[in-house]
Amino acid sequence: MTPRNVLVTGAAGGMCGGINARLARAGHTLLCADLNLAAAETAAETVRAVGGTAHAFTVDVTDAESIRDMDAAAEDAVGRVDVVVNAAGILDRKYLVDHDDASFERALGVNLVGPFRMIQRFTPGMVERGWGRIINISSIAGVTGYPYPSYAASKAGLSNLTRSLVIDLWGTGVTVNAICPGVVDTPMVIEDVRRQVPRKVPTERVIDPEEIGALATFLISDDARSINGADLLVDGGATGYFQLFDRP
């Protein structure tokens, strides 16, 4: 596989532990970016400890200037960004009545406007070089109705942003895809949800973050060059069946 420079936002999070590990194992250079610089440095160190190459950066994806600064720092470190994985995200467990404008907009700001800003910032260089990959970490919460509307709306928006951008990026060599994970083994998932997995998810298991990393690695490979605008479910079948049904 051709080694690429892969910029991952939210790189200090639970899912990115698996994403960073798999990408590094495939020989890619990791640019680990997170709001929490110390945690991004720990993530990069974890990659280096197993023989990978990684650099750490701070970024707030809700702030265009912060993205610009990170871009400059990444360019200093490795020269160019070939792949962006938009994994930074927040889950605000508020129901409709608990939200105000600011809390709803905050979720959209991190989960939807953030990836938009990242894509706008990094695709021109990819287009110029004739090759690039955007991987957006969406969610099954963007595919079905979901109890927390800001998260659901932001992820549905991210998935449809993904589909729509294939038109903008037509013929450029840059593909854009979304991964929609189900219940992944990270701190974001509460115990009550984990407990229900064997009853509600046909594979009866919580997903390992490395499974998401494996798919991201495949999407970067040449074998995936015709996968574009896809919303790829990794949910153990959770969203695929008729819910008013008790398993046999």
| Residue 181 lies near ligand NAD (rule: CB under 6 A) | yes
Name the one residue in this structure whose structure tokens are 């280096």.
Answer: 48
Task: Give the relative orientation of helices 14-25 and 209-220 as an angle to the nearest 10 degrees.
Answer: 40
Q: Interface with ligand NAD by CB under 6 A: which range of 69-77, 120-128, 179-187, 222-230?
A: 179-187
Binders in 92-121 for ligand NAD, by CB under 6 A:
110
CA 106 from chain centre, in angstroms, equals 18
Q: Between β-strands 174-181 and 83-86, what pairing exists: parallel, antiparallel or unpaired?
A: unpaired
- Cα 27 from Cα 206, distance rounded (Å): 27
CB of 203 to ligand NAD, least distance (A): 14
- Cα 52 from Cα 24, distance rounded (Å): 5
Q: Are 15 and 62 in contact (CB under 8 A)?
A: no
Residues in the chain: 248
Q: Interface with ligand NAD by CB under 6 A: which range of 22-30, 121-129, 162-170, 176-184?
A: 176-184
CB of 77 to ligand NAD, least distance (A): 18
Name the one residue in this structure whose structure tokens are 């420079």.
Answer: 5
Structure token pair of residue 76: 């200093």
Binders in 209-248 for ligand NAD, by CB under 6 A:
none
Bridge partners of residue 54, in order along the sequence? 30
Among the listed residues 127, 189, 224, 227, the single contact to ligand NAD using CB under 6 A: 189
| Residue 89 lies near ligand NAD (rule: CB under 6 A) | yes
CB of 103 to ligand NAD, least distance (A): 14
Strand runs labelled E in 169-209: 174-181
Structure token pair of residue 172: 């450029």
Q: Assess whether 146 carries a catalytic annotation.
A: no
**Residues 6+ positions from 222 with CB-CB distance below 8 Å:** 1, 2
CB of 128 to ligand NAD, least distance (A): 26
Question: For the window 135-174, what string marks contact with ligand NAD as x by the rule CB under 6 A?
Answer: --x-x-----------------------------------
Among the listed residues 4, 5, 13, 135, the single contact to ligand NAD using CB under 6 A: 13
Among the listed residues 6, 7, 8, 9, the single contact to ligand NAD using CB under 6 A: 9
Among the listed residues 184, 230, 233, 238, the single contact to ligand NAD using CB under 6 A: 184
- Cα 160 from Cα 111, distance rounded (Å): 13
Query: Which residues does the annotation mark as catalytic?
Result: 151
Q: Which residues bind ligand NAD (CB under 6 A)?
A: 9-10, 12-16, 34-36, 39, 59-62, 87-91, 110, 137, 139, 181, 183-184, 186-189
